Structure 1
Amino acid sequence: MAQVLEFKLPDLGEGLTEAEIVRWLVEVGDVVAVDQPVVEVETAKAMVEVPCPYGGVVTARFGEEGTELPVGSPLLTVAVGAPSSGEETEGSGNVLVGYGTGAPPARRRRVRPTAGATTPPGAHTRTRPAHHPAADDHPGAPAREPGPARDHSAAAVRADGPVPVISPLVRRLARENGLDLRTLVGSGPDGLILRSDVEHVLRSAGTPVREPESPLAPHTPEATPVAPAPVTAGTRIPLRGIRGTVADKLSRSRREIPDATCWVDADATELLRVRRVMNATGGPKISLLALLARICTAALARYPELNSTVDTEAREIVRLDHIHLGFAAQTERGLVVPVVRDSHTRDAESLSAEFARLTEAARTGTLTPADLTGGTFTLNNYGVFGVDGSTPIINHPEAAMLGVGRIVPKPWVYEGELAVRQVVQLSLTFDHRVCDGGTAGGFLRHVADCVEQPAVLLRSL
């Protein structure tokens, strides 16, 4: 006899507590193998695939694409075969996002679900969190056969405990119409309360049914008549996932960090020439970003105050003994900051390779949470957008960010004569709690000196 197992959204680590369903990779009725990815979700850190620890037939899915679920919410149920002697049915236990046993997934095939498979005992009594919108009927729920009318009101109020409803929409419909769900007996499987049950009771009592509000719509008090809103209300875009996390982090940075910015123009002509010479010798190409990163790590070794964080509770500045260099990357899903770990131990070739790998992962949405956390200093190359300067917001809880504008030909006094040189504007935004202007200015001047005369960098190699 098949056993129905429930797979819940696993603990995603890195302090993440929820995820948005981006794309289902299986359908109800599909056969899945142990550790086969079944759903693609977007967390506050990255977009990843979630493998299922059970092998069997998918009998139900919980949550439409675009729905946000907290950790521990049901994702799907799987009917697994009866275990043979000595065989376990607990699955692999490998529920870390993006990881499994590495075994190739079984070929998907459609099976005709039986009544017992599509409606496992208790499968329809589970609900998703009430604050997420959902369809009126759950995917995989069987159609109700016509039958005699039932009394939808219970003789006695239910005992304490969760009330089984088919969707959060039904719970909201009852709440906004002042109906206690504990007084109802649902007509669905195992007493599941359907939307039609709630509407039947409200109409029987002569109560006008008030449709539940969209969770994204502004609330209007009933006592205050309001004229119809114009069509030009605009589009509402939920701040969630990566974009929501970025918004929270930037807001916190503005609230907590007393930042200041200084900037300087630098002649990058010699740096560009050196890069051309390096790439002409053969081997992997060295990116300009990698050279700037190498300059950054050298400057941070000289001014370690800027590679630190502030412990506000202890009222202490924590200077870090490693440099994990983040760099801002714009993607279709928003701004992300991948991190090159132990940048101070890498040469220009290694930095180029890691920047290329992380940039491609950002473009394809395959960055892992580890790729996006732990940064100690950020390099922001906003020159790729065609702008000269910026006063960026520090990536909390870091202490500083180096900004690099576009490199453009400009008139410049070079060796006592006016010439056209390749000029770049560099800016440093820093936490004024960790250092004063003298330290920040010294760091930025050292970066500019290395840009103008790359040979200066040799002293720290």
Structure 2
Amino acid sequence: MAVVREFTLPDLGEGLTEAQVVRWMVNVGDVVAVDQPVVEVETAKAMVEVPCPYGGVVTARFGDEGTELPVGAPLLTVAVGDAAPAGDAGAGDPPPREAAPTAADEGSGNVLVGYGTQAPAARRRRVRPPSHESAPPAAESAPATAVAVISPLVRRLARERGVDLGRLRGSGPDGLILRADVEQAAHTAPTPPEAQPAARPAAVRTEPARTGRRDAGRRRPDGLRVPLRGVRGAVAEKLSRSRREIPDATCWVDADATELMAARKAMNASGGAKVSLLALLARICTAALAKYPELNATVDMAAQEIVRLPDVHLGFAAQTDRGLVVPVVRDAGARNAVELSVEMARLTDAARAGKLSPAELTGGTFTLNNYGVFGVDGSTPILNHPEAAMLGVGRIAPKPWVHQGELAVRQVVQLSFTFDHRVCDGGTAGGFLRYVADCVEEPAVLLRTL
């Protein structure tokens, strides 16, 4: 008999603890391949197609469409091994009845059912959702192609770092490969330059209609009550945590952006890829962080340490039909203005089309918030926990300004800088903001870092 392996809802991104089943992509009795998407779920950040790490015959599904599941809860079971060929799922044959569970089965958290069965609701309630890093039951007859990895983030990280999962022995239970194992392997064996990321393990779609279904709310005598879920719920939790844990402060300054606008116009008139204003501001941010690296940091309160991060992964706000999301430009400090513009445009398009993976929405170390697109001049934003700083950019508008000793109409922008007061004092924050303003007013200042 084939070994039945349980696939649980994996870790789909930092801070995500649950997801809603939106659409099943396989039925009981279907044959699935390793890494084939089997279910579409909606997280607090995006619509995600979840791939299954096992190949074989689907023997059970858990959770109806619309059901909320925590990370680590069972999604489905798959019969793997030589005894589970495609022919076992014969069309038209009535599925055998589910074998009665033994006491050991009910308490183990492992689901063992016959082929072609759909686990009933009573049985599902008895299953204990295991941790998302728990190992599936041992399978001596599992095919050689199966790798002991459950989390799509671990698979993606391995692809990005050029780590061969087949050569790793995981440190988790029964050899399960964890994120720390991949990071350690990447550290000891640097990623070869020819390694390119493969297909994303999780494809994301934006569907406002489904979001509306979840957030429709219900009317009560005291008003309309809207569930604090999905994107809104995740934002509420993250911002509340930021306010609870981070003693933030904000400083701001007005700057004459006339020369920056002229410099961008000259760049784009020379041909080649267009450079966006946001990309120029991002390049200024990375130059400022190179000058003030203590702001590219986070605070580890458990260890009572400030952790200064080696690379700048720049998050930037992008408006979508599902709300405001923050895609992350990896290794932004190593990119020039053109490269930043191309990557930010790609991430923005992907965000609006719903094709970002959760990994592209997490891991930022600094955030650029261009609230000027909403027509406002200033803001005192809440930090994107656990980051230590954020630059806010208001609208660029013609205003009276003293230029070269005379009153003139110039393109003026207000810049605000919010920072974690634990990582620096006002002098460092003021120095950072003043450097940014100098680069906006005189773009030639950036030539020192190019």
Aligning the two structures, in what range does the TM-score lie when normalised by the shorter sequence? 0.5 to 0.7
> Per the alignment, in what secondary structure is the counterpart of residue 382 of structure 2?
coil
Letter in 2 for 1:11: P
Q: 1:359 to 1:113 in 2, by over 3 A?
A: farther
In the alignment, structure 1 residue 50 sits paired with structure 2 residue 50: yes
> Per the alignment, in what secondary structure is the counterpart of residue 273 of structure 2?
coil
Which position in structure 2 is the counterpart of 1:433?
422
Deviations 1:225-273 (A, max 9, x none): xxxx954541331424x43332222111101111111111111111111
Alignment of 1:54-203 (within 5 A): 58=58, 60-77=60-77, 87=82, 89=84, 111-112=91-92, 114-116=94-96, 119-121=97-99, 165=122
Residue 279 of structure 1 deviates from its aligned partner by 0.9
Q: 1:23 to 1:323 in 2, by over 3 A?
A: same
Residue 355 of structure 1 deviates from its aligned partner by 0.7
TM-score scaled to structure 1, two decimals?
0.66
Letter in 1 for 2:24: W
In the alignment, structure 1 residue 236 sits paired with structure 2 residue 193: no
Deviations 1:433-458 (A, max 9, x none): 22222221111111111111101111
Deviations 1:181-235 (A, max 9, x none): xxxxxxxxxxxxxxxxxxxxxxxxxxxxxxxxxxx9xxxxxxxxxxxx9545413
Residue 429 of structure 1 deviates from its aligned partner by 0.6
Q: 1:326 to 1:57 in 2, by over 3 A?
A: same
CA distance in 2, matches of 1:295, 1:113: 66
Residue 13 of structure 1 deviates from its aligned partner by 6.2
Deviations 1:323-366 (A, max 9, x none): 11111223333332222122111101111111112212222333
> Per the alignment, in what secondary structure is the counterpart of residue 234 of structure 1?
strand
Which position in structure 2 is the counterpart of 1:287?
276
Residue 396 of structure 1 deviates from its aligned partner by 1.2
Q: Following superposition, which runs of at least 4 residues in structure 1 exceed 6 angstroms of deviation?
A: none
Residue 401 of structure 1 deviates from its aligned partner by 0.4
CA distance in 1, matches of 2:269, 2:90: 56
> Per the alignment, in what secondary structure is the counterpart of residue 165 of structure 1?
helix
Which position in structure 2 is the counterpart of 1:394?
383
Residue 367 of structure 1 deviates from its aligned partner by 2.3
In the alignment, structure 1 residue 346 sits paired with structure 2 residue 345: no
Retained in 1: the 8 A contact 2:61–2:119? no
CA distance in 1, matches of 2:324, 2:100: 42
> Per the alignment, in what secondary structure is the counterpart of residue 457 of structure 1?
helix
Residue 32 of structure 1 deviates from its aligned partner by 4.3
Retained in 2: the 8 A contact 1:30–1:111? no
TM-score scaled to structure 2, two decimals?
0.68
Q: 1:266 to 1:122 in 2, by over 3 A?
A: farther
Retained in 2: the 8 A contact 1:31–1:111? no
Retained in 2: the 8 A contact 1:29–1:113? no
Match of 1:271 among 251, 256, 260: 260
Deviations 1:142-196 (A, max 9, x none): 9xxxxxxxxxxxxxxxxxxxxx826769xxxxxxxxxxxxxxxxxxxxxxxxxxx
Q: 1:247 to 1:418 in 2, by over 3 A?
A: same
Which position in structure 1 is the counterpart of 2:437?
448
User: C-alpha root-mean-square deviation of aligned residues, in Å?
Assistant: 3.4
Deviations 1:389-420 (A, max 9, x none): 11000111111100001111122222222222
Deviations 1:84-119 (A, max 9, x none): xxx364x9xxxxxxxxxxxxxx9xx99446142xx4
Which position in structure 2 is the counterpart of 1:213?
none
Q: 1:45 to 1:390 in 2, by over 3 A?
A: same
Q: 1:279 to 1:71 in 2, by over 3 A?
A: same
CA distance in 2, matches of 1:113, 1:255: 58
Letter in 2 for 1:71: V
Deviations 1:277-330 (A, max 9, x none): 111111111111110011111111222222222222333322223211111223
CA distance in 2, matches of 1:79, 1:304: 51
> Per the alignment, in what secondary structure is the counterpart of residue 301 of structure 1?
helix
Residue 54 of structure 1 deviates from its aligned partner by 5.1
Q: Which has the larger radius of gyration?
A: 1
Where structure 1 has 5 or more consecutive residues not aligned to the other structure, the ranges are 92-105, 128-138, 143-163, 170-215, 217-228
Where structure 2 has 5 or more consecutive residues not aligned to the other structure, the ranges are 107-116, 127-214
Retained in 1: the 8 A contact 2:315–2:326? yes
Identity %: 71
CA distance in 1, matches of 2:278, 2:410: 20
